Structure 1
Amino acid sequence: MLQVPDPPAPGDVHVVALPLTTRFRGLTVRETLLVRGPSGWGEWAAFAEYDDAEATRWLAACYEASHGAWSSVPAGTRVPVNATVPAVPAADVPGVLARFPGCTTAKVKVAEPGQSLADDVARVAAVRDALGPSGSVRVDANAGWSDEQAVDALRALAAFGLEYAEQPVAGVDGLARLRVALARAGVDVPVAADEVVRRASDPLAVARAGAADVVVVKAAPLGGVAALVALARELRDAYGVLVTVSSALESSVGLAAGAVAAAALGDGRAAGLGTAALLAGDVTGSPLLPRDGAVDVRRVTPDAALLEDRAAPPERQAWWRERLARVHGLLAAQGGSSS
């Protein structure tokens, strides 16, 4: 377990606001906090809706990167990644995929508030057309459907040969019910869990309940690379559940942790770590962008000029720094535990 370091000095903390190329998860700007430590840089990007207790795991992951150690990987290691397609009109799909050169797997956002199933079908059809029959298509509903809506939607989307549907409904019980409902309806679409793992006090509950074929794991919400790798191996070895490593829409600093974790698992599955392509501005001139369908596994050091250029407004700086003080104190009181 990583010992919680002393609070970072003010000069080692940078709060940035990174513009997105298109709206994603309801955001047009991604705010995040970066910490410089003796091991390098860490990122704390817990979304604003996470309370202080939930955000402790994200901070533990940040400190693991900035003050701890990661599993070593050979120089030149790369991990395959998927393209990520926001809830854009179907006509915009080719332009989005062009930002993910060489990617043969795509994750497509569906169930966007204010959009219809017809919009989802058109978007997924455009992705299938672009990838061809040999490409892999995943859809992600972010728990946006009811049980009935999920069955109807996945019946329609199954025609495009889905690898899986990520978090189609809310809750572990909801996923378990949906798997039964899909089987009864003759809809052959594997179910993946995301939110019920990264926001859970017991990440293995979904596997014990038989509620998912795939579990999406992210380093920051789980407490870091070591915690992710341990959970992923248990899911895979003890429960036979496949694992996809993904991002939490971080800068390239945070994406580096996910890439290390994916390389450590070494299963060759396309990870959701190409999301630097969704940023209109990053904190480094050498971002972890997809190239030939993969990203490099390496630490990322921000550029001082970009940290200054991307600095969040003063009121947001204050909000993040006050939040950091609270959550650091909570994490220290837990003795470094992120559970």
Structure 2
Amino acid sequence: MKAEIESITLELAEPLVSSAGTVDERDLLLVCLEGEHGLVGWGEAAPLEPYDGVTIDRCRTALELQTAALRAAPKSATGAELLELARSADDLPQAMAAIDTALWDLAGQRDGVPLAELLSRDPSRKVPVNGVIGAETPVIAAQLASDLVAAGFTTLKVKVGTDDDIERLEAVRVAVGPRIALRIDANGAWSLAEARARLAAMEPFGIEIAEEPVSGVDALRELAQSTSTPIAADETSGLIGALAAAPTQYVCLKLGRAGGISALLAQAALVRSSGGEVYVASMLDGPVGIAAAVHAAAALRITTPCGLATLDRFDGVDGGLLAPTGGEITVPLGAGLGVGPAEA
């Protein structure tokens, strides 16, 4: 099997500001696997060091080991066997996500069906998505919110964890009215006491979900049991044992942190078996990563809006088939992912 790695950098049109810092560009690693009959599968590794602690160099090293293992694999190796060969070479989840996605893309192309139809008998045809507003000034946040609602979004996620959270949320709520769902994301910025106080102060704004208001399984569980606001685990869900502990009503799953589509589906099954619900979000992934996450969300028939409408944040990137319409992304109908790195 031929296996190549390509580096790309996507610039954000405007920086995304959160309590975790500011992101103004994304370094990504693409994996291209060539299978039988010239079919090509694409995968994407999207580590984000301020978020997951993984550097782009660490990810590249892992991918070099993994792709070397795939090149040396016998032609008779199955997709599952190839995945395990890559994992044996280096099990870094962000790199495994690229290998896993590329193998699924090849499988879909081989069978001539969209990836979601390989993953599920009855996948959704569209995936609901939310708009995202960074930790902007109240005036800018209100204008962005109005623009997103005009574009068809019915759920907005607002970054919080800074001094002007209440003013930002009030401005957004006034701008969009009472029918738009507001989700907040603190990226674990608060202590347990701060989270209780902040969520109480935000109750008048009707918060749909508070994402990672605190960090850690115990803190999330205690907060979830002491507030009426639904809580979602995000960063904490990457900790060993966190998903099985089921500390929150919701879990935000991410393709890179899970280690690929296969692992993400398994994580979703574990969360749902404990009575929780999941949604999928990107870490400002590129087109290949977004396409893979959309297929996974469709296979899971997720109804909670997902954080996958992020391609328009990049300068010069046209969302194409992955552009949201009316707050939804239509699942690509082409074989495999249905899109490539330059085809979104």
**What band does the TM-score fall into relative to the shorter chain?**
0.7 to 0.9
Q: Partner of 2:221: helix, strand, or coil?
A: helix
Of 279, 295, 304, the residue aligned with 1:260 is 295
Aligned to 2:256: 220
Aligned to 1:148: 193
Of 99, 110, 118, the residue aligned with 1:63 is 99
- The reply to whether residue 157 of structure 1 matches residue 202 of structure 2 is yes
Residue identity opposite 2:136 in structure 1 = V
TM-score normalized by the length of structure 1 = 0.75
Asked whether the equivalents of residues 79 and 262 of structure 1 are also in contact (C-alpha less than 8 Å), the reply is: yes
Of 160, 181, 193, the residue aligned with 2:233 is 193
Aligned to 1:314: none
CA-based RMSD of the aligned residues comes to 2.6
Q: 1:234 offset after TM fit, Å?
A: 2.4
Aligned to 1:40: 41
Seq. identity, %: 34
- The reply to whether residue 291 of structure 1 matches residue 325 of structure 2 is yes
- The reply to whether residue 18 of structure 1 matches residue 52 of structure 2 is no
Residue identity opposite 1:162 in structure 2 = I
Of 203, 214, 232, the residue aligned with 1:169 is 214
Q: Partner of 2:117: helix, strand, or coil?
A: coil
Which segment drifts farther, 221-230 or 16-25?
16-25
Residue identity opposite 2:280 in structure 1 = V
Q: Partner of 1:72: helix, strand, or coil?
A: helix
Q: Partner of 2:270: helix, strand, or coil?
A: helix
- The reply to whether residue 27 of structure 1 matches residue 27 of structure 2 is no
Q: 1:226 offset after TM fit, Å?
A: 2.0
Check 1:258–1:221 CA distance in 2 against 1; reply closer, same or farther (3 A cut): same
Which segment drifts farther, 49-58 or 212-221?
49-58
- The reply to whether residue 106 of structure 1 matches residue 156 of structure 2 is yes
Q: 1:14 offset after TM fit, Å?
A: 2.8
Asked whether the equivalents of residues 77 and 297 of structure 1 are also in contact (C-alpha less than 8 Å), the reply is: yes
Aligned to 1:81: 129
Cα distance in 1 between the residues matched to 2:168 and 2:30? 35
Residue identity opposite 1:166 in structure 2 = E
Deviation per CA, 1:264-311: give whole Å up to 9, x if none.
Answer: 1113221111111322233x672622221111223322239x9xxxxx
Residue identity opposite 2:185 in structure 1 = D
The count of residues paired between Structure 1 and Structure 2 equals: 282
Q: Partner of 1:273: helix, strand, or coil?
A: coil
Asked whether the equivalents of residues 193 and 206 of structure 1 are also in contact (C-alpha less than 8 Å), the reply is: no
Cα distance in 2 between the residues matched to 1:260 and 1:196? 24
Check 1:277–1:201 CA distance in 2 against 1; reply closer, same or farther (3 A cut): same
Check 1:287–1:123 CA distance in 2 against 1; reply closer, same or farther (3 A cut): farther
**Structure 1: unaligned runs, 5 residues or longer:** 307-339
Asked whether the equivalents of residues 163 and 189 of structure 1 are also in contact (C-alpha less than 8 Å), the reply is: yes
Asked whether the equivalents of residues 285 and 303 of structure 1 are also in contact (C-alpha less than 8 Å), the reply is: no
Of 202, 205, 208, the residue aligned with 2:241 is 202
Aligned to 1:243: 278
Name which structure has the greater RCO, CA cutoff 8 Å, separation 6+: 1
Check 1:122–1:287 CA distance in 2 against 1; reply closer, same or farther (3 A cut): farther
Q: 1:253 offset after TM fit, Å?
A: 1.6
Cα distance in 2 between the residues matched to 1:45 and 1:213? 27
Check 1:213–1:81 CA distance in 2 against 1; reply closer, same or farther (3 A cut): same
Cα distance in 2 between the residues matched to 1:95 and 1:279? 19
TM-score normalized by the length of structure 2 = 0.74
Cα distance in 2 between the residues matched to 1:45 and 1:206? 27
Cα distance in 2 between the residues matched to 1:277 and 1:130? 22
Asked whether the equivalents of residues 255 and 261 of structure 2 are also in contact (C-alpha less than 8 Å), the reply is: yes
Check 1:89–1:176 CA distance in 2 against 1; reply closer, same or farther (3 A cut): same
Q: 1:244 offset after TM fit, Å?
A: 1.4
**Structure 2: unaligned runs, 5 residues or longer:** 35-39, 63-89, 108-114
